[in-house]
Each structure stands twice: as structure tokens, then as C-alpha cells.
Amino acid sequence: MTIHREGYKSIAICTLVFGAINFAVFYFFSATLPLLCWVIFLLTLFLLLFIISFFRIPNRALTLSETQLIAPADGKVVVIEETVDPEYFKDKRLQVSIFMSPANVHVNRNPIGGEVVYNQYHKGKYLVAWDPKSSTENERHSVVLRKNGKEVLVKQIAGALAKRIINYLQTGQQVRQGEELGFIKFGSRVDLLLPPGTKVHVQLNEVVKGGVTVIADW
């Protein structure tokens, strides 16, 4: 396991705060309230370890396939339904949405290889990520990947806690399946908009792994 580069600054700041809080607490209260000092130490240590774990990148064998679309994120499948995309396709698409809790790995990966033909950031609200309106009203970043004439839209969506979406792709860029697409800090969701009739291999409430779980035949 390694730590994602997006976490270096946050972890450094949290470590300094952890050290400052505990130095002050033990300096002023260790003689009179030792139990309180240790409770504060354990609580702040837990929070520091949680922050570190949030930015983890576990070692895993990625699934690479020319004919399959792979999960772009870790989390739970919360939506599998036909919808109308008002942003790019302007017609019916099959939507598959993955909810990412704060405990999930938050690296987002390219579900397919191909060319980035659309890349757009949208300001918006911060509704809870499982709200159906979050797909169109929340802060989000959309990219469309094209391969062999087929296109899939990947939408990173901010939630009530996640208020920083990071996307690494650029229009015209050629990307590989499984490479990093971006990062969402502190929980949210990722939507996939697929061609109608796409054969989906996951079910509602199924837990998937980014870069590993096969979402659909491509």
C-alpha cells in the first residue's frame, strides 16, 4: 500500500495539528488529568490514522480488457437505470452509479482506454451523494472517453462532505484503462453513462473495486 500524492499536504497538516494538540494537553494537564490526556491522544491518533487511510492506494492487480468496462471507483452500486443525459449525449443512456463512503479508496480510474473527447467541470450544490438530483445539481466533473466509435461518460460528483474534485485528464489525451482519472476527497459518487442495451454485470448494492470489478461488456 502507498499514499496518494493528493494526501501529502493534508497528512502533513494533520500530523502537525496532532502533535501540537497533544504537546499542549500533556504539558498543561498530564500531572492533574492524565486520563484525559490519554483519551485525547487516542482520539486524535484515530483521526490521524483515518486521514492517512483515506489517501491509501492498495496494491491490487488491475483488470485489463478490450471488451469490458471496469469500475472507475471503489464503493457500492446505488443506481442501475435508464436515464436521459442533458449534458453531452442529449438522449437516453444507461446509468450506473457507485457511491463512495469516506472509508473507501478514493482514487478514480479510467473504465476503458481511449481518447478523451469531452472534459467539463460544473459548479453546483453539495447534496448528499445518494440523492438522485446530485447527478445534475451537485459540483461535478464530466469526461467522455471514446474507443472504437463508442463513448462512455464518467462523472465525478461531489457530496455533502466531498468538496474537492480533482481530474487529471485533458481533451484529446489518449488514456489507458485502469490509469488514474482523478480523485475525490472525503466521499462522493461516480456515475457512468453507457450506451442503451449495454450488458451490465453488477447488481444494486454490490460492492465493487476500482480498476478491478467488471461493470459491463463494452
Active site residues: 188
Alpha helices in 5-142 (DSSP H): 8-29, 34-54, 134-137
- 157 is written with which cell numbers? 460528483
R_g (Cα) of the chain, nearest Å = 20
CA distance 86 to 21: 49
Spatial CB neighbours of 197, under 8 Å, sequence gap ≥ 6: 94
CA distance 182 to 192: 14
Local structure of residue 58 (DSSP, 8 states):
-
Of 127, 182, 117, whose CA–CA distance to 156 is shortest?
182
